[in-house]
A and B are shown apart, each in its own frame.
Chain A
């Protein structure tokens, strides 16, 4: 087991976005996080990263340091007008080794060029990130993940706004990470993709609806339940009594 949640409630200003979630994730799991918009999927990832603290319950990392988690937020979070080259961007993945002040060693430089090669970005080293297409930018962010060498990888809608060829390349990257024994949690919307590539799924709709093997989670019945649960955010909701 690498991560467990017990009775986890996460939210903003005491409104729950993730409600009473208990589950455990094993090392090497390849888990898809699915659910309607506003279901708390991104909030759950932020909770794992420790960027928001639980309103109730807990998230426990077992044999895992926070520095060993890599997190890819949704694409639009990076300021792409910033003057930084592809190579420098990818090299930031070595942060855990070099920190804020250390220098980039030749080992890391080799890692960076190998990551760029694996994602088909050779020749792009000196390009500014502002001149890249959406798909190329996502390849750059995946290259940075590769350099991070984390044990647990969190991906928030990694294929949104990305063409099918890049999606295929990135999916095979994810599969090779999984073969290396890394644990991956990805927020996804394309259910066909989930069925094809992700053995485990969590269907979340503020409340956990179903968790387990993908073909048993993604049933029509569960989706209907998810839609019912995903009611509007109630400004005047009463304090939650169920525990």
Chain B
């Protein structure tokens, strides 16, 4: 049994690398996801994940499967789309969700087209669904770096960011940090999506943000507990997903996301904090 649970990570260095890389993503993407959820921006995260694809694809077109080029391309494209869709929805009369959806469909199509110009089906699959089992040194440094930047930045902008989500008018009345909090948060979202796509691919990396936080809110009420629980869920799912992919030979990215998905389904069914079960089991009411 011990063998079954730990041996793959002791024996094979590619499993160790995958584990370290996924832990780094979990530690940074999960807290970002909590704020995305609380700002009701889950779909925005999804749209931005797709928007990264053409940028990474252009990097791929120029220099093949090189981490630096694809990362840089992804960051540029992500920031561009975040700004553009904000502008479009502010300047035209179309609501932001519509312009987001439009942008992400265009980006997805453009990205897939660009990659098929030069690459094979395998390259396309790599970009779309990642390859957690083939993380090289550069990728690990990138993931570790993004994790550090994210946690430090979140610690610095925490209080303004909370107010930006909850009571922006108050923040604006006491300080000028509102745009800084908003913009640095968007940059963190892009960074984490770009980091995540090395391991999980552009389509799945947003899952590391949304699913842990969506599950965590069914169990705890306060923000700090939500942040911690979502991290733990993400880390545990990565471990389980890698284990499954080793023993059952599932593709790693989808395995991790499916485990997270099962936690989410369990949570909304049985979660004590507004899960389905709390509607079925009526608690005895208090006397006052």
Contacts and interface: CB of A to CB of B under 8 A. Distances in A.
A78 B173 contact: no
A188 interface: no
A100 B38 contact: no
Interface in B162-195: 162-163, 165-170, 172-175, 177
A92 to B, nearest CB: 7
A84 B167 CA distance: 11
Contacts of B173: 49, 51, 69-71
A126 to B, nearest CB: 9
Contact of A83 (B172, B175, B223): B223
B177 A100 contact: yes
B261 interface: no
Interface in B129-180: 156-157, 159-160, 162-163, 165-170, 172-175, 177
Which of B157, B159, B169 has the most A CB atoms < 10 Å from its CB?
A: B169
Interface string A54-85: 00000000000001011101000111001111
B247 interface: no
Contact of B175 (A70, A78, A100): A100
Nearest to B173: A71
B226 interface: yes
A128 interface: yes
B166 A84 contact: yes
Contacts of B167: 77-79
B221 interface: yes
A85 B156 CA distance: 21
B222 interface: yes
A77 B166 CA distance: 9
A96 interface: yes
Contacts of B169: 51, 71, 73, 77
Given A79-B166, A83-B38, A128 B221 contact: yes
Contacts of A233: none
Interface of A is mostly: mixed
B222 A128 contact: yes
Interface residues of A, number: 22
Interface residues of B, number: 23
Which of B162, B166, B177, B226 has the most A CB atoms < 10 Å from its CB?
A: B166
Contacts of A101: 156, 159
Nearest to B159: A100
B170 A92 contact: yes
B174 A95 contact: yes
A84 B223 contact: yes
A96 B174 contact: yes
A85 B163 CA distance: 13
Contacts of B177: 100
Contacts of A92: 163, 170
B96 to A, nearest CB: 17
Given A77-B169, A84-B166, A95 B175 contact: yes
Which of A82, A92, A95, A100 has the most B CB atoms < 10 Å from its CB?
A: A100
Interface of A: 49, 51, 67, 69-71, 73, 77-79, 82-85, 92, 95-96, 99-101, 128, 144
Q: What 10 pairs across the A-B complex have the smallest Cβ distances?
A: A82-B166, A71-B173, A95-B174, A73-B169, A83-B223, A78-B167, A79-B166, A100-B159, A100-B160, A77-B169
6 contacts: A51-B172, A71-B170, A83-B226, A92-B170, A95-B175, A96-B174
Given A82-B166, A85-B222, A100-B177, 20 more contacts: A49-B172, A49-B173, A51-B172, A51-B173, A70-B173, A71-B169, A73-B169, A77-B167, A78-B166, A78-B167, A79-B38, A79-B166, A82-B38, A83-B38, A83-B222, A95-B174, A99-B175, A100-B160, A128-B222, A144-B170
